[in-house]
Structure 1
């Protein structure tokens, strides 16, 4: 090309007649799965979680409660993208909201205002005022971990302190700040020392009580042990003479997500909150997985009768259609005087596509009684899972649930020792797509969590039918019988 030439010489692909670069892209989209896997091995980072399964699974389409592979075979999904697609894949109403916004205002720098952002923030703030009796404001970001980071800024700005409590088994994200309050050392180990990492407190995991107590007569012993940290200055948490401590906040998940959908005793958080209030320690509620009715209430924390100081949310707000997360905080913590312009920033925060879908999601839940829906369907699902546990006690050690957040803990023949190997085998076998689903072939999509990676955390679509619930349990039973035939006697 000449220096002053405005055209570019472009080679043409002989087979297609297209420009060579375009033809190459077209050919990539027509690759077989094996060819695509080879491209993935060569060009894609393996730093995410795809390669937990070998080989990784391909999917080509989704609708409702199902994913479909490239051959059109359905896979009943019981984890719905870690609760991000709680309202169903390809939800027509939410998809339409996205399309309308694409045609109206798809892009806007977050330094400007648009109606959907303001209306969505107002809706969440008013909802929280009605539930908790507290006025507050909403701040948006993109992903859950980024919202956690913003909450940490609010906590530090308010208290002047950098130390926080979090639970063993917690998961709050994998940015540096979020990793510091996530309990798994595996996520931090490659990146050096985290000087401000949380002090981790045992979660009330009653099936595996860290104190060896029994659920029915422990008297919330775990809360008593937390309270004892403040008994003496020599426990290093509190100076009684100054009436001051060095911890700013306690980060909680009301129901642990990645930790295995562990549900605490009903009175646990009320007892914990009394201690935090006495010591002027903020309570930050991570609702990223459990928010928007996953646990039978709009926020999972509502099940436990307390009001948090800060709520972090994301995932199901946009049904996974566009990244949007956020925080709600009490007015005293997030007013413009306390959290002025420029306190934090993300290029895509409060983006108009995400806020438009989020606003439509809130309209959707306002028009449908998801509290009743998730509780009714969850009760049906849980009843059948408990029956499965009774019939396979040498495979299933514990079953529990709240709303449509359900857990199945896979154990050895003694009913207690974690069996990670069997859990992974059941997970992989479900993705083969060859289960008998009443005369047709189908797969089952499960998610593995828990402290010992032996828990199936079930988060089905809110619109899952009763017939599909029954089918899901049938498919899970098939997997148990196929993967552990020696234990089903």
Structure 2
């Protein structure tokens, strides 16, 4: 720890705890500390490890690839890349009825960058819409469409900064409305932007818009696992289509069955123009990411060789891990099991909400779940209580069936008062019961 204080940059990590926690091992749903004590992980590396730590099938596939061909420059082809691309393209053809192609990179932010280039190349425009509360990464381009000013403030002027639109965060409606009676007021407010040229972005006469695309997370990740109401994206997509604006779907956190679907946007019945993915494509083993785009946006005549490049994109290790992930997805019925496990987990969270007045909201879709921590009024955000619960969980002194555990949680939300729960898709019913019990212990301590 003393060495770390002197030689490590704090800019590439998050020093929320003092001192930071050190872990030595991982397996399944657990991390293990220096004393080999298990910590039930309910965030799985920001949803990067959907299929459990040290997944035997994925690890063995990587070892096999290492022994055969672990390294290859990305200007050459190898069989696994073609097959993985085919699986992803076929999956989207089945879901959306659209022909498209897949393009790889490393890390979610880099895939977002490629999507921005793709949009600019196709639309010849550089401005985009994005949501308040949205998170798309920390590279300069991704930061420009990420709503938090904190990520931009030390880096000067962002001339391509997105126009941020309020997300339909119904528990804290930005318009002070109620979903039961609002008649999707938020969508109507967005639609007003296109009524007159004097609203600054659109000419109704020429049907030309200054903005090229709308970047969305159907379920906001860092924003606190906030999900849009059922008809929201259908209504939004209708406006975008009329104004010839592309819909870019960021599935970096929610993709690969986190919500019980391959892509979270499937819950809303709309067809995206671009899908950006990453994280659990390789179960967190390798920084491989990518995008899928409709054929007319990405075919070689409009997006020729060398349009963009990354040395480690489509590297053999990452691609082989991704291929194994897709094989697992094809063999298992995650659509059913994730929905069932998510419902069981959510029912437990609802019982805790009834028990503790400081829990303002619980919600979820599949195994993307949220707990909003508030003051005693059940609405005023409480970052202090949230931080305290997080710290208590990492002490490793919780008990379940006469054994000691820690609990790994992640904090998100507009006010940093939301626990965003993303357990392994392989979490067992017993581990869900344990999670509810450990959360109950933490809440008793802090509330």
- Give, in whole Å, the separation in 2 of the partners of 1:387 and 1:413: 17
Counterpart for residue 378 of structure 2 = 415
1:50 CA drift (Å): 2.7
Q: Does 1:243 align with 2:207?
A: yes
- Give, in whole Å, the separation in 2 of the partners of 1:463 and 1:242: 52
Q: Does 1:426 align with 2:378?
A: no
CA displacement, residues 220-276 of structure 1 (integer Å, 9 cap, x when unaligned): 100000000111111101012322110000000010000000011010000000000
Counterpart for residue 41 of structure 2 = 77
Among 70, 73, 76, which residue is 1:109 paired with?
73
- Give, in whole Å, the separation in 1 of the partners of 2:263 and 2:152: 29
Correspondences of 1:27-176 after superposition (within 5 Å):
37-176=1-140
Q: Does 1:445 align with 2:404?
A: no
Among 395, 406, 423, which residue is 2:358 paired with?
395
- Give, in whole Å, the separation in 2 of the partners of 1:306 and 1:242: 26
Counterpart for residue 474 of structure 1 = 437
1:71 CA drift (Å): 0.6
CA displacement, residues 7-55 of structure 1 (integer Å, 9 cap, x when unaligned): xxxxxxxxxxxxxxxxxxxxxxxxxxxxxx1111111111023312211
Correspondences of 1:8-407 after superposition (within 5 Å):
37-392=1-356, 394-407=357-370
- Give, in whole Å, the separation in 2 of the partners of 1:52 and 1:276: 40
Total equivalences in the alignment: 447
In structure 2, runs of 5+ residues without a counterpart are: none
Runs (4+) of structure 1 exceeding 3 A deviation are none
CA displacement, residues 187-213 of structure 1 (integer Å, 9 cap, x when unaligned): 000000000010000000000000000
168-177 or 39-48, which deviates more: 39-48
- Give, in whole Å, the separation in 2 of the partners of 1:41 and 1:270: 50
298-307 or 236-245, which deviates more: 236-245
1:395 CA drift (Å): 1.2
CA displacement, residues 158-182 of structure 1 (integer Å, 9 cap, x when unaligned): 0010000000000000000000000
- Give, in whole Å, the separation in 1 of the partners of 2:52 and 2:349: 22
Corresponding residue SS for 1:273 = helix
CA RMSD of aligned residues (A): 0.6
TM-score, scaled relative to structure 1: 0.91
- Give, in whole Å, the separation in 2 of the partners of 1:126 and 1:85: 23
- Give, in whole Å, the separation in 2 of the partners of 1:66 and 1:230: 50
CA displacement, residues 94-133 of structure 1 (integer Å, 9 cap, x when unaligned): 0000100010110000000011111101110011001000
Corresponding residue SS for 1:200 = strand
Q: Does 1:459 align with 2:419?
A: no
1:437 CA drift (Å): 1.6
- Give, in whole Å, the separation in 2 of the partners of 1:52 and 1:119: 41
Counterpart for residue 19 of structure 1 = none
In structure 1, runs of 5+ residues without a counterpart are: 1-36, 485-489
TM-score, scaled relative to structure 2: 0.99
Corresponding residue SS for 1:270 = helix
Counterpart for residue 5 of structure 1 = none
- Give, in whole Å, the separation in 2 of the partners of 1:428 and 1:49: 17
- Give, in whole Å, the separation in 2 of the partners of 1:116 and 1:317: 14
CA displacement, residues 281-317 of structure 1 (integer Å, 9 cap, x when unaligned): 0000000000000011010000000010000000000
Larger radius of gyration: 1
- Give, in whole Å, the separation in 2 of the partners of 1:341 and 1:59: 43
